[in-house]
Chain A
Amino acid sequence: MTRRKFVRKLIKVCSVVIAGTSALAVTGRRLWNNSRITKKVKSRKCLRAIGVRGYPGPLKPLQDICEQGKWSG
């Protein structure tokens, strides 16, 4: 094998290795990101929130509801 042929072969092999590694890196990154997103954010199919048992604040009895509300609206 001449020196020229050897250099050509070497360049060919190197190109294939570089192209393959890049493709793998891009695909890997995309998959990694996707898995991170699904782990991080659970997209809600149903909008309904579930009630909790009890109220976190103080409870009061129903006051005289016939009195007009003091709030606007």
Chain B
Amino acid sequence: MKIQCELCPKLCLIQPGQSGECRVRINIDGVLRTVVYGYPCSINIDPVEKKPLFHFLPGSGILSIATVGCNLHCRNCQNWEISQANPEDTPAAFCPPEKLVELSKKYQCPSLAYTYTDPIIYYEYTYDSAKLAKEAGIRNVLVTAGYVNEQPWKKLLEYVDAVNIDLKAISEDFYRRVCSGTLRPVQNALILAKASGILVEVTNLVIPTLNDKPEQIRQLASWVKINLGSETPLHFSGFYPRYKMRNLPPTSLEALETARGIAISEGLDYVYIGNVASRQGQNTYCPGCKRLLIERSGYTILQNQLRNGCCPDCGKEIYGVWK
């Protein structure tokens, strides 16, 4: 008997013995099963700035996990070795939700990140771990493409404190051709996350010739401002030739700086540059008086001038979770 998985907009009809597009949700004797529950293929403590989250507990370490698999198949995927792999071929460690909470406490990580691949495909593991972590006073962060249906997304957001959602382009055609997905569910996930009151940051991977035209950047920044608010941090991330897109050059620093300039001119308060060394593009400035608030170098915080989440000069409240 076929089963329909209703977790993501792909709505896979799964034949007995087969998996959905994510490779990890399987129909076994007419029952939908997840083969990666409690089995992360990657588990590390990262700086929170690596996610990237620049407005969430700056300078803190975050226990970061991922299982194998993904519901999108982006031709430019930077982590394709684990996102486009089969669980049968990928080593994983046994680490149930209780163990994750225990490790977070042991290594004094104030938060847990479900990242690297996409936490949506290991939904049940993410959900149970997030619930348990929240009960233990540990915060939860999702780093995701936001390709998820409304009902499970809302349910998961109850236990989440911050998200970084990858908005790849404001183009259905881009999502279809490059990612084998669609744009609308991602926009919906972003709007729902923001409406739920949690911290939302957005990442856009700037790929030369595909989504780096000034008009495309302007459209994206404008969408973020109108739908998520000007206070929403936007990260322009540099592309490196990977997976099925090795024919394009890496994104230049100039292209990222141009993108940043456009987004600022569109009215966004916090626009950052990632994956490429950039001094100004990594710092947080007060949108009121333009004072330097947080100075970063790579993932290191050089100075943090915030006082109770506010600018020490003009007193403007800075969007974020600071303690």
Measured CB to CB, the residues of A under 8 A from B are 39-44, 47-52, 55-63, 65-69, 71-73
A68 to B78: give the CA distance in the assembly, Å: 16
Does B98 lie at the interface of the complex (its beta carbon under 8 Å from any beta carbon of A)? no
| A57 touching B92, Cβ below 8 Å | yes
| B103 touching A57, Cβ below 8 Å | no
A72 to B2: give the CA distance in the assembly, Å: 35
Chain A proximity of B290: nearest CB distance (Å): 30
Counting chain A CB atoms within 10 Å of each CB, the highest count among B34, B44, B68, B115 belongs to B44
Q: Which residues of B contact A51 (CB under 8 A)?
A: 33-34, 37-38, 124
| A65 touching B87, Cβ below 8 Å | no
- A-contact bits for B133-166, CB 8 A (1 contact / 0 none): 0000000000100000001100000000000000
B116 contact from A66, A67, A69, Cβ within 8 A: A69
Instruction: Tell me the B1-16 residues at the A interface (CB within 8 Å).
Output: 1-7, 13
Chain A proximity of B235: nearest CB distance (Å): 11
Does B56 lie at the interface of the complex (its beta carbon under 8 Å from any beta carbon of A)? no
A67 to B34: give the CA distance in the assembly, Å: 28
| A65 touching B50, Cβ below 8 Å | no
A62 to B92: give the CA distance in the assembly, Å: 9
Chain A proximity of B151: nearest CB distance (Å): 7
Extra A-B contacts (13), CB below 8 Å, given A42-B2, A73-B78, A73-B79? A41-B2, A42-B30, A44-B6, A47-B151, A49-B7, A49-B34, A51-B33, A52-B28, A58-B92, A59-B93, A69-B46, A71-B79, A73-B115
Q: Which residues of B contact A59 (CB under 8 A)?
A: 39, 91-94
A42 contact from B1, B42, B44, B66, Cβ within 8 A: B1
**A52 with B5, Cβ < 8 A, contacts A59-B94, A60-B92, A73-B79 known:** no
Q: 16 A-B Cβ contacts within 8 A?
A: A42-B2, A44-B6, A47-B7, A51-B33, A51-B37, A52-B33, A52-B37, A55-B36, A56-B87, A57-B92, A60-B91, A62-B93, A65-B103, A67-B45, A69-B46, A71-B78
Q: Which residue of A lies closest to B118 (CB)?
A: A73
Q: Which residues of B contact A55 (CB under 8 A)?
A: 35-36, 39, 87, 92, 94
B107 contact from A39, A44, A66, Cβ within 8 A: A66
Q: Which residue of A lies closest to B34 (CB)?
A: A49
Q: Which residues of B contact A41 (CB under 8 A)?
A: 2-4, 13
